[in-house]
Chains A and B, each alone.
Chain A
Amino acid sequence: MRFLRHLPNLLTAARLPAIFLITVWTYWAGPWASAALALFILAALTDIFDGWIARKLNAVTDFGRLMDALVDKIFILGLLIGLAAIDCLPVTRWSDAGEPLSPDASTVLYTSFGVMLIVIREFLITGLRLVAAASGQVLEAEGLGKIKTFLQILAIGHLIGSSRPNGISAGRSSSWPCSGCPSS
């Protein structure tokens, strides 16, 4: 029974290793990308259910509430960084011949600005919550913030779903250790 009381925090913590697995499976592409998408959906569901389970088990703690919000941000930002590193952000377009069409430099630059804006926003809000917490007040997430998180999850799911259709790597990725690459 003691284990059950820790279940919400374990579900929250499980999203951290999932960042690495989702990124590397997306990179491996082919069936692995489907596994990455499935794990991503599972991890996104834990985001919903950890709070629900905590309330059901009457195991809501300040630590759990803080970590849930923090791990949410780490999960989203970690995946955006990982997906950018494996050329899944911006989305790779494909020619009719199945060749990857590299995005132009300005698209990559503006996309990085988008990620920077998310980083800035999340750190500022976390900072504000910490300042409020220091004076004994808990600032809860609001409706718009929850819609924002849902949209981020949809966007990342779309990026993972739009990854390479097979294990053959594109561009600079060819020197990486992926299952579809010829050994170098």
Chain B
Amino acid sequence: MALFWLSVFLTVYSGLNYLIRHRRHLPGLAS
């Protein structure tokens, strides 16, 4: 299960990273 949890962690981390880097596309979060 360690692999599963590692993949969950990396999924969430990479998702947040992606959202922050491309936040200019999100209405209201462009700044």
By a beta-carbon cutoff of 8 Å, the part of chain A in contact with chain B is 89-91, 111, 114, 117-118, 121-122, 124-125, 128, 131-132, 135, 137, 139, 142, 144-145, 147-148, 151-152, 154-155, 158-159
A-B contact count (CB 8 A): 70
A-B pairs, 8 with minimum CB distance: A121-B15, A144-B14, A155-B3, A151-B7, A114-B8, A155-B7, A155-B4, A132-B25
> How many Å lie between the Cα of A122 and that of B4 in the bound state?
16
Inter-subunit contact A117/B8 (CB<8 Å): yes
Return chain A residues, CB-CB under 8 Å to B10.
144, 147-148, 151
In whole Å, how far is A144's beta carbon from the nearest beta carbon of chain B?
Answer: 4
Most buried by A among B7, B8, B19: B7
Residue numbers in A under 8 Å from B3 (CB-CB): 151, 154-155, 158
The interface size of chain B toward A, counting residues with CB under 8 Å, comes to 20
Contact between A118 and B26, CB atoms less than 8 A apart:
no
* Chain A, interface SS category: helix
Between A and B, 25 residue pairs with Cβ closer than 8 Å are A90-B4, A114-B5, A114-B8, A117-B12, A118-B11, A121-B12, A121-B14, A122-B15, A125-B19, A128-B22, A128-B26, A131-B26, A132-B25, A137-B25, A142-B18, A144-B14, A144-B17, A145-B18, A147-B10, A148-B14, A151-B10, A152-B11, A154-B7, A155-B3, A155-B6
